[in-house]
A and B are shown apart, each in its own frame.
Chain A
Amino acid sequence: DAGITQSPRHKVTETGTPVTLRCHQTENHRYMYWYRQDPGHGLRLIHYSYGVKDTDKGEVSDGYSVSRSKTEDFLLTLESATSSQTSVYFCAISQWASDEQYFGPGTRLTVT
């Protein structure tokens, strides 16, 4: 597996609370991505980054923000968690835009 870790691996939080998920890579890859996985929807892109401080929206970005202050870390923040954000969140990395994406182990988030 590529050197990608996610933390926490599991989290239960209450509606309205802020939540930050972390993706850390040791591969020095330029691109980093956040996806959410829900039954029947496959993986849907939330946000991605193409360099330090360079980020852009994916198809389901509402309610999420991201930051990348270092090459190795990409943070996903839910400013005020809602039950509809209960999901499994995967981080992925790639060296170039046209390269294969490698996925992290995932974070299971439950919003009660």
Chain B
Amino acid sequence: GENVEQHPSTLSVQEGDSAVIKCTYSDSASNYFPWYKQELGKRPQLIIDIRSNVGEKKDQRIAVTLNKTAKHFSLHITETQPEDSAVYFCAARKAAGNKLTFGGGTRVLVKP
């Protein structure tokens, strides 16, 4: 089955700096890669996703890049703010499938 690895497990950044989280996946048939943000005690919420026909997608201060050849994708957060502090999860799903496989999560702390 699919295996998704996520690094780093924790990330501390100064407010205003950028944060980058990387994920690798094992199944070349995967073609959908969402990112979820989970604040303390809350439910995971989708913040951005990318499909395999696109190499990069941006939404304001967040962007996701995908390298299908290398089977990895990354989340980039620019100009970090204290409200970006949360746990972020990447995931992968195969075409014509409905099962998401999640990475282990990255705890991001933005220091004022």
Q: Known interface pairs A41-B104, A103-B44. Does A31 touch B99 (Cβ–Cβ under 8 Å)?
A: no
Would A98 and B34 count as touching, CB distance under 8 A?
no
Determine whether the beta carbon of A43 is less than 8 Å from that of B44.
yes
Bound: A94/B49 CA distance, A: 15
Interface contact tally, CB-CB below 8 A: 50
User: Do the beta carbons of A48 and B46 come within 8 Å of each other?
Assistant: no
Q: Is B112 an interface residue (CB 8 A)?
A: no
Q: For chain A, residues 53 to 112, give those with C-beta under 8 angstroms from any C-beta of chain B.
A: 58-59, 90, 94, 97-98, 100-106
Q: Are A1 and B43 in contact (CB under 8 A)?
A: yes
Q: How far is the CB of A106 from chain B (nearest CB, A)?
A: 6
What residues of B have a CB within 8 angstroms of the CB of A106 in the complex? 43
B57 to A: closest C-beta gap in Å: 14
**Interface residue tally of chain B, by bracket?**
20 to 34
Are B43 and A42 interface neighbours, CB within 8 A?
no
B6 CB contact (under 8 Å) in A42, A58, A98, A102: A42
Pairwise interchain contact A100-B44, C-beta atoms closer than 8 A:
no
**Partner of A43 from B9, B49, B97, B102 at Cβ < 8 Å:** B102
**Alpha-carbon distance A44/B100, docked complex (angstroms):** 9
Nearest Cβ distance between residue B47 and chain A, in whole angstroms?
Answer: 11
The complex places the Cα of A101 from the Cα of B49 at a distance, in Å, of 11
Known: A42-B103, A59-B1, A100-B34. A90 touches B44 (CB 8 A): yes
Measured CB to CB, the residues of B under 8 A from A are 1, 4, 6, 9, 32, 34, 42-46, 49, 89, 91, 96-105
